[in-house]
Amino acid sequence: MDLGGVWQAAKSDDELRRVMAIPDLDDSAWHAVTVPGHWRSHPEFAGDDGPVLYRRRFHAEPPATGERCFLTFDGIFYQGDVWLDGEYLGDTEGYFFPHTFEVTGALAARTDHVVAVEVACHRPADLKAKRNLTGVFQHWDCLDPDWNPGGIWAPVRIHSTGPVRMSALKVLCREANSDRATLDLEATLESIGPVDVAVRTELRREGEEAVVASHRQEQALAAGTNLVRWPLPVERPDLWWPRALGGQPLYEVTVEIRLGPPNGDPDVEDAGQLTDRRVVTTGLRQIQVRDFIATVNGERLFLKGANCAPTGRALADVSPAQLAHDVTLAQDAGLDLMRIHAHITRSELYDAADRQGMLIWQDLPLQWGYGQVRRQAVAQARQAVALLGHHPSIALWCGHNEPIALDLAPGNTMTPRNVARLVAGQVLPSWNKTALDRSIRRALERADGSREVVSHSGILPHPAWGTDSHFYFGWYHGHERDLPATMARFPVLARFVSEFGAQAVPNGDDFIHPERWPDLDWENLEAHHSFQRTIFEQRVPPSSFPSFDAWRKATQDYQATVLRHHIETLRRLKYRPTGGFCFFLLADAQPAISWSVLGHDRSPKSGYLAVADVCAPVIITADRPPESYRPGDQIDLDVHVVSDLRVPIPDAQAGAVLRWPGGERCWRFAGEVPVDSCVRIGRLSHTVPASTPPGELSLDLTLRWSDGRATRSYTSRVS
């Protein structure tokens, strides 16, 4: 029974809280709200931080003999207290996984019912020691800090089982090759008393009737919670691959729990009765990530990825089509990896990633500093594996993004205090890094031994607790040209760069009111739309442009330049030592001037086109020329071809044309480009003639082979 639809809601206070669960309470004056949903999506609660009280009346027939009934909330942001017919059922904490209560007795006692919930999603009092594990939804510089995600945001339902309930089913593929794969299954079975059951498992190709693997085992259960584990071997499996490597065949795993005959008597009437059943869809593959270099089914893959915000900040209001479209947009940009940045999203996105062959780097919803939340974080790490572990697209887990106690908020993003904390947070031990994150990592590793676990992201590589790198050359620090020299000097920092980029003004600009140029509401844009005015004044100052459109174009061109050249640099370091990258950010969750390459309406900025170009399967690239040369200067530039193809290019023909005022020079190269490689094909050496007048110096590269063509251009100046 689906309990979604119209509920009654009211702002909680001490008096109303005491009576809100009474079945006969007159709630006709309360506001009608939609469940699933967020209370901020309704005008009556648009500025409210809660708590909010919810009520819903429903009719249900009494359960049959031997039937057990359960009330499940698939998602409550962030804490809830639940009553049914005036009786307290319990509390919930954690927004992304289900919370279930047995209601057999209550449904047997009457047919008309009232479910009541008090939902709280408190605003963090101390941003350096948060308690809610809501990740980006409550503390991020890409979401309006005034937003509150509170509400019953996912479906609510009544469902029934027999005497034994399967409260959880975890399905993991630990090993797979062309000859054999093995699924490890773990079921949590809740029984009302001691009983013998048969656990039956069948595996089918999705959409087909034929059973390709099966398993049956007899199991004696005690009253209460029982944990049952078993393997399911699969002979000659059809392997799941990322889109760059192959197809995405999926399998349906069906697990049934049937009652066994009491005392071994097969003539007992209910022997073999189905008591619960689960079906999950999975793929058979083996993923390993060692030193941030990934292999899938033994094939190495350079990971080209993007950080991903929630598809919309009001996650309940996003359609399944919108979630799937974000995966398509990432794929169209030539990406192999989506990093679900410091949140867990809706199931439809993971389903789309499974079907489209998109790998997922899955963060837990932890970002920056937290207080004493270790026990809750460990419990939620286990819930994440139980909820998502069957998805073949998920390649690795990450426990915590940037575990540094920062009070980042509009207007104080990079104060001297925060800069000092960032530096100290990289090198000094802290409770978040050394206690909280180690516990989370252990929990993830114990719950899922089939995937790599990253303790935390954004702590520079070093022996104690370092992992991947976040660099914002050309935005927060340095010059946008500084990345290659830094990588050459400190190669370990290049093994995986999981954040880099620059902000740019989107094409969907209604919220900016460009007609007011140059007198925009800069303060509002800073406070609610991610705009970092101080940094823009350094990088692309608005005052330097005669019109809003000119400024917008300049910001998008600058973002495209940063992304293009950073990605080129990292692709040239393919496997030596770089395993891949994730730029920041794919798309906005709300109207914003941010690091995204797609606006909140998914209109592309220039950066999206630059990413798609430089993430093509085959590119030709040269060392980037300096900004300017003087007559008589020596030009020395290495030229590389990067190929992600799984076949060699035997007939590659490359050309380079260097032009300067009054002259040009050409080079030609030919040879084979190996499979999945980066090869240096030659060096361009030339001296700028002493008589060269000031003007543009350009370099045009062309690569041709039997199946395709790639080009690249660079510009500099003679001064």
CA 8 to chain centre: 33
Count Cα atoms within 13 angstroms, Cβ side, for 488: 8
30 and 123 belong to one structural domain: yes
CB atoms near residue 238 (< 10 Å): 18
Percent of the residues in the chain that have a pLDDT greater than 70, as a whole number: 97
CB 338 within 8 A of CB 353: yes
Residue 427 in this model has a pLDDT that exceeds 80: no
Mean pLDDT of the chain: 95
Regarding whether 605 and 523 lie in a shared domain, the answer is yes
96-154 pLDDT, tens digit per residue, is: 999 999 999 999 999 999 999 999 999 999 999 999 999 999 999 999 999 999 999 99
pLDDT, one tens digit per residue, over 537-574 is 999 999 999 999 999 999 999 999 999 999 999 999 99
Phi-psi region of 89 (alpha: psi -120 to 50; beta: other; left: phi over 0): alpha
Q: Which of 250, 354, 242 is nearest to 304 (CA)?
A: 242
CB 703 within 8 A of CB 612: no
Q: Which pLDDT value is given to residue 417?
A: 67
Which of 135, 161, 187 is at the close of a domain?
161
- CA-based radius of gyration for the chain: 28
Q: How confident is the model at residue 422 (pLDDT cuts 50, 70, 90)?
A: confident
Confidence of residue 463 (pLDDT cuts 50, 70, 90): confident
Backbone angles phi, psi at 651, to 5 degrees: -120, 35
3-class DSSP state for residue 556?
helix
**CATH number of the structural domain spanning residue 667:** 2.60.40.10
Nearest CA to 501 out of 607, 584, 597 is that of 584
Q: Residue 412: which pLDDT band, with cuts at 50, 70 and 90?
A: low
Structure confidence at residue 79 (pLDDT): 98
CB atoms within 10 A of CB 200: 16
Residues 261 and 355 in one domain: no
pLDDT in tens, 327-382: 999 999 999 999 999 999 999 999 999 999 999 999 999 999 999 999 999 999 99
CA distance 403 to 650: 47
CATH number of domain containing 503: 3.20.20.80
Higher pLDDT, 168 or 428: 168
Mark whether 419 and 506 lie in a shared domain.
Answer: yes
* pLDDT exceeds 60 at position 270: no
As given in the structure block, the two tokens for residue 637 are 């530039």
Task: Please state the domain count of the chain.
Answer: 4
Query: pLDDT tens across 273-287, in order?
Result: 999 999 999 999 999
367 with 412, same domain? yes
Per-residue pLDDT, 514: 98
Evaluate whether 242 touches 234 at the Cβ level (below 8 Å).
no
Q: Alpha carbon 166 to chain centroid distance? A: 28
| 53 vs 122: CA distance, rounded Å | 14
Model confidence at 411, pLDDT cuts 50, 70, 90, reads low
Alpha helices, DSSP H, located in 256-366? 320-332, 347-356
Q: Is residue 221 domain-shared with residue 336, that is, in the same domain?
A: no
Quick one: 55 and 36 in the same domain?
yes
On whether both 13 and 91 belong to a single domain, the answer is yes
Per-residue model confidence (pLDDT) at position 548:
98
146 and 176 in a common domain? no
Q: Which residue has the tokens 């909140």?
A: 600
Instruction: Please determine, for residue 235, whether its predicted confidence score (pLDDT) is greater than 90.
Output: yes
Judged against a pLDDT cut of 80, whether residue 420 lies above it is answered with no
Say if residues 403 and 440 touch (Cβ distance below 8 Å).
no
Q: Which two tokens stand for residue 157?
A: 């339902």
Residue 109 sits in the same domain as residue 236: no
Where do runs of H (alpha helix) occur along 173-298? Answer: none
Tell whether 451 and 501 lie within a shared domain.
yes
Domain boundary among 230, 256, 282: 282
Is the pLDDT at 311 greater than 90? The verdict is: yes
* Segments forming the whole domain that contains residue 352: 291-615
**Are 550 and 628 part of one and the same domain?**
no
- Tokens for 491, please give them: 């190669």
pLDDT at 16: 96
> How far is 291 from 339, CA to CA, in rounded Å?
17
Q: What is the pLDDT of residue 426?
A: 79
Question: In terms of DSSP H, where are the helices of 68-210?
Answer: 104-109
Q: Is the pLDDT of residue 262 over 60?
A: no
Backbone torsions φ then ψ of 682, nearest 5 degrees: 165, 175
Could you give the CA distance from residue 609 to residue 564 in angstroms, rounded to a whole number? 10
Strand partners of residue 171: 185
Q: Are 197 and 189 in contact (CB under 8 A)?
A: yes
The predicted pLDDT at position 260 comes to 83
Higher pLDDT, 652 or 270: 652
| Residue 324: count of CB within 10 angstroms of its CB | 18
Domain edge (last residue) among 576, 599, 615: 615
CA distance 293 to 428: 27
